[in-house]
Structure 1
């Protein structure tokens, strides 16, 4: 893997945790708030959740292209995006993959310089 792959993994990690927390935290909070008061935040919070999900899918497709992931792994990450708090587990996997790709890129750079 190269540094572009590590960057793509990092971008996916940056959006995976907020996306994982946006459904339970934002939408459930907004639904409860609209039921107990006159404040209706479901639409704007739903739009924020939708934006995070779209970013997650776009960044996942970028990682799939750059890291050459198998389709099963991409499908797993799509499933984790749908399951509440699933992105937290996905972030754990991404963190390991990102660290491995950075180490590999540095090793190739040092090897080329020698």
Structure 2
């Protein structure tokens, strides 16, 4: 497998995990137990990974000759908690 596709897969997985950690761990810590520190740390990491995901999706759009509709779906998946996992399985070549 091409290193660019492998790199995007890694970014995709990390972005999805960071989003889930933000939603399921950091946000409850902030709003239920009044401990906002984790939101700052995980939120920053997630923000960086999100930007990398969007840029990577554009590179995959060009590299894999995706239609604009496919690019839009992959980008939309980035705002869904398990979306990047779906995009990875559906639109990226395996292996």
Of residues 83, 87, 94 in structure 2, which corresponds to 1:86?
Answer: 83
Q: CA RMSD in A?
A: 2.0
Higher helix share: 1
- Give the stretch that moved more between structures: 73-82 or 63-72: 63-72
Flag structure 1 segments of 5+ consecutive residues without an equivalent.
Answer: 100-114
Q: Deviations over 1:47-98 (max 9, x none)?
A: 1110110111111111112222110110010011111111111121245x24
What is the TM-score normalised by the length of structure 2?
Answer: 0.82
How far off is 1:32 after superposition? Answer: 1.6
Larger Rg: 1
What is the TM-score normalised by the length of structure 1?
Answer: 0.70
Greater RCO, CA 8 A, separation 6+? 1
Flag structure 2 segments of 5+ consecutive residues without an equivalent.
Answer: none
